[in-house]
Structure 1
Amino acid sequence: MVSRRSWVEQIMGLPVSVLARGEEAESARADAAVRDVFADLVEADRMFSPYKIDSAVSRLARGELSWDEVDPVVREVGERCVRARDLTGGLFDAELPGGGWDPSGLVKGWAVERAAERLREVPDLDWCLNAGGDVLVLCPSSLPFTVGIQDPRDPGRVVTSVARSDGAVATSGTAARGAHLYDLRTGDPVDTRWLSVSVSGPSLEYADVLATAAFVAGEEWPGVLAALPGYEGLGILADGNLFATAGWPLGEVAAG
């Protein structure tokens, strides 16, 4: 029987879990790597959360820090946000309407990928790192994990699944936080008949960025994914119908 072990912590206001599989799953080395992953994500939240009064994001907003004074990691994320804005033609933008900077749409995927390097250091370990529904996996065994896609109309239900032995799946929509996304080209809230868009590809950082940009794009969302090779998408309409790009590997679709 293949050994398995799971861990879960509440970080960034959402559940972050790790599922490990293989001979190393129950080892002290795997446990230490997971603890380091959680610590890295706590530190990213401390630095980038717009809800923490002492974060770099909050201090920039209040004018207590300038860009010349922030930690180099904050400047790196700022540069990544600019590249993401350029890549998506402004559909993703960390600059807020009316001023301010909120890199949350990029930071989670970036921070999870960065922290996951701890898990990559454990040899022969299959792992699935799930940060509130945005998922990164690596399976040296080549036996994939099955990633469920949540029904945005019923958070307790999965409408379909995708098998991955490497890479990421990210979802953007209104199910978890309501209508919180804006089209920053116009400053208006996103108005779309799509309830969510999920993106699968090699990088969680870019899958997350492209999912956000695709959701903002509305009817034109499949074209957004053409900005980078290797990314495919699945959109869920308000009536529950699904639309997938040509390369999206559909799994079992729930009835109804």
Structure 2
Amino acid sequence: MAPRRSWVEQIMGLPVSVLARGEAADSEQAEVAVRDVFAELSGVDRVFSPYRTDSAVSRLARGEVGWDQVDPLVREVAERCAAARELTGGLFDAQVPGGGWDPSGLVKGWAVERAGERLREVADVDWCLNAGGDVLVVCPSGEPFTVGIQDPRDPGRVIAGVPRTGGAVATSGTAARGAHLYDPRTGGPAGTRWLSVSVTGPSLEYADVLATAAFVAGDDWPAVLLPGYEGLGVLADGNLSATACWGRA
């Protein structure tokens, strides 16, 4: 069995873990790459967290700064959020009821994917980067990792596993934060009989956005997915429903 090493830090209010597999998993290059990943994600949190009073998002909300005064990265994320709204027909929207702006539904996947580029620079190591259930997989060996899908009725239980040799897995639902998602079409809470929707695909940014949009869509969630993305929905009774190519590595 190939050597393995793992790291974990609390960032963005959630555990971020990195698993390395391969002969160079214990190398200094791997160690530096993981430190860089954690540092980049911590930096993103300082800028975008709605829970930090000094973040750009919080300062925008209080009217202390305007869009022309924030870091260009914030404006880039705003543009990405606007594009995601168009892409999902309004099912994903960073504009929240009351007129605020909260890009959290896009930022985590976008940030993890950006940070994951540091891991790709380490040759001959397979990586699994997990940020609170949003997962990026890089497997130059071609040997898949099996990513567990959390049971939304029992966060300590895995309800399904999906093999991945690359790309992303993202989940949106009630397991981590309860019924926190809203429906941009109504401005009220998302009303659905689904407890979670998980999405796989090449981009974690898009998988994250599509998982949110699919959960909000309710029974029509499979129609939200883009080509190259597959989904798994979990109903309140524990029954699972998957798209045709779910589970292909």
**RMSD, aligned α-carbons:** 1.0
Query: Do 1:161 and 1:250's aligned partners in 2 also have CA atoms closer than 8 Å?
Result: no
CA distance in 1, matches of 2:134, 2:70: 28
Name the CA distance, whole Å, in 1 between partners of 2:99 and 2:62.
Answer: 11
Q: Verify the 8 A CA contact 1:134 1:171 in the aligned structure 2.
A: yes
Task: Kindly indicate whether the alpha-carbon contact (under 8 Å) linking 1:78 and 1:103 is maintained by their aligned counterparts in 2.
Answer: yes
Could you say which residue in structure 1 is the equivalent of 2:19? 19
Deviation at 1:249, TM superposition (A): 1.6
Task: Name 1:85's counterpart in structure 2.
Answer: 85
Indicate the residue corresponding to 1:244 in structure 2. Answer: 242
Partner of 1:25, secondary structure, is coil
2:54 counterpart residue number: 54
Separation (CA, whole Å) in 1 of partners of 2:134 and 2:45? 16
What does residue range 201-220 of structure 1 map to in structure 2 within 5 Å? 201-220=201-220
The residue type equivalent to 1:134 in the other structure is D
Deviations 1:128-173 (A, max 9, x none): 0000011000100000000011110011111110000100000000
Task: Measure the CA separation in 2 of the matches of 1:196 and 1:2.
Answer: 34
State the number of aligned residues: 249
Identity of aligned residues (%): 80
Q: 1:135·1:170 contact (CA, 8 Å) conserved in 2?
A: yes
From 227, 231, 234, the counterpart of 2:232? 234
Which blocks of at least 5 consecutive residues in structure 1 are unaligned? 252-256
Offset at residue 125 of structure 1 (A):
1.0
Q: Segments of 4+ in structure 1 off by > 3 A?
A: none
Partners in 1 of 2:177 and 2:156 — Cα distance? Answer: 15
TM-score (structure 1 length as normaliser)? 0.96
Q: Tell me: CA distance 1:238–1:250, structure 2 relative to 1, closer, same or farther (3 Å).
A: farther
Is the CA contact 1:167–1:200 (under 8 Å) kept in the aligned structure 2? yes
**How far off its partner does 1:250 sit?**
7.7
